[in-house]
């Protein structure tokens, strides 16, 4: 199998090889699991998002993101700098209380608050998606669009325009949902023309996940309001991949 490197040599980076007529596989996680894992990862004191939210002194990386968007929207950069100056990291620290369901829900509300979008970094606030979609949708679009500037374009001004334009800008041929990892991976490999033996399929099912956070299941942390909040802000991904909110 011919594998090209991804941007920065990072498993979370963009694909930089020439696609041509080859198939491209990408993974996606259901948003309810994703946000619980992202929060729990921070509760373990890990992750770039956690570090940015609970501390200050990130002017350098914010300027780097400003340069990555070719220094467009300087007024937005000013707002990001003001956030860096006036943001209270203690508010976020209180939301990273391990095992505390109420803290998790407060974290979710803050994460999806329009006023907090400048704190998240990664040029999220520069994208129209930040007005109606969550950080997961933004990262997904930036990672899997044929052109990384797509997520900042007028084509993403509304949920409707995003849904209509995405099929022609999507780089990925086969998506593997992490909650259906083995089945989707085997299906994608078969569609790509690979014949798997029973032993190879069994080996796929035996694999254990990596990069895990220490936290309990979704049902211990979500309530109806937080389930609805995530489903609404991540409706694009929910519709694209037929994700279903967990039953309480």
Q: How far apart are the first and last CA of the chain?
A: 42
Residue 188 lies in a domain: yes
Tokens of 198: 């029973």
Residue 14 lies in a domain: no
Residue 68 lies in a domain: yes
Residue 24 lies in a domain: no
**Is the per-residue pLDDT at 107 higher than 70?**
yes
As for how many domains the chain has, the answer is 1
What is the rounded distance in angstroms from the CA atom of residue 145 to the CA atom of residue 165?
11
pLDDT score, position 87: 86
What is the rounded distance in angstroms from the CA atom of residue 199 to the CA atom of residue 18?
32
Residue 22 lies in a domain: no
Residue 12 lies in a domain: no
Q: pLDDT category, 213, cuts 50, 70, 90? A: low
Query: Across 38-42, 184-188, 190-194, 216-220, which has the greatest mean pLDDT?
Result: 38-42
Return the DSSP state at 4: P
Residue 145 lies in a domain: yes
The domain containing residue 173 runs over which residues? Answer: 30-241
Helix H segments across the chain? 31-43, 48-54, 59-68, 74-86, 89-95, 101-111, 135-144, 159-169, 181-191, 198-206, 224-233, 235-241
pLDDT score, position 3: 34
Structure confidence by residue, pLDDT tens digits, 9-33 = 444 566 665 666 778 889 999 999 9
Rounded to the nearest 5 degrees, what angle is found at the Cα of 116, between the Cα atoms of 161 and 10?
Answer: 70
Question: In this structure, are residues 177 and 30 in contact, taking their beta carbons and an 8 Å threshold?
Answer: yes
What is the rounded distance in angstroms from the CA atom of residue 128 to the CA atom of residue 159?
10
In sequence order, what are the residues at sequence separation of 6 or more whose Cβ sits closer than 8 angstroms to the Cβ of residue 58?
52, 84, 121
Return the DSSP state at 17: S
Residue 15 lies in a domain: no
Q: pLDDT category, 217, cuts 50, 70, 90? A: low
């Amino acid at each position: 199998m011919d594998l090209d490197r991804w941007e920065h040599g990072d498993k979370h980076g963009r694909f930089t090889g020439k696609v041509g007529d080859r198939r491209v596989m990408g993974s996606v996680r259901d948003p309810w699991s994703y946000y619980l894992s992202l929060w729990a990862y921070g509760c373990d004191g890990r992750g770039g998002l956690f570090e940015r939210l609970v501390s200050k002194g990130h002017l350098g990386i914010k300027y780097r993101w400003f340069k990555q968007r070719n220094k467009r929207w300087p007024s937005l950069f000013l707002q990001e700098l003001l956030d860096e100056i006036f943001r209270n990291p203690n508010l976020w620290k209180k939301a990273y209380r391990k095992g505390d369901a109420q803290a998790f829900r407060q974290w979710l509300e803050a994460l999806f608050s329009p006023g907090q979008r400048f704190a998240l970094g990664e040029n999220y606030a520069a994208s129209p998606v930040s007005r109606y979609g969550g950080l997961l949708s933004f990262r997904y679009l930036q990672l899997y669009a044929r052109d990384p500037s797509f997520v900042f374009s007028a084509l993403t001004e509304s949920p409707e325009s995003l849904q209509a334009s995405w099929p022609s800008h999507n780089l990925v041929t086969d998506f593997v949902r992490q909650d259906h990892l083995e089945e989707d991976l085997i299906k994608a490999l078969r569609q790509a023309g690979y014949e798997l033996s029973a032993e190879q399929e069994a080996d796929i099912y035996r694999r254990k996940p990596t990069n895990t956070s220490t936290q309990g299941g979704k049902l211990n942390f979500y309530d109806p309001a937080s389930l609805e909040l995530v489903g609404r802000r991540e409706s694009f991904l929910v519709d694209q991949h037929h994700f279903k909110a967990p039953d309480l």
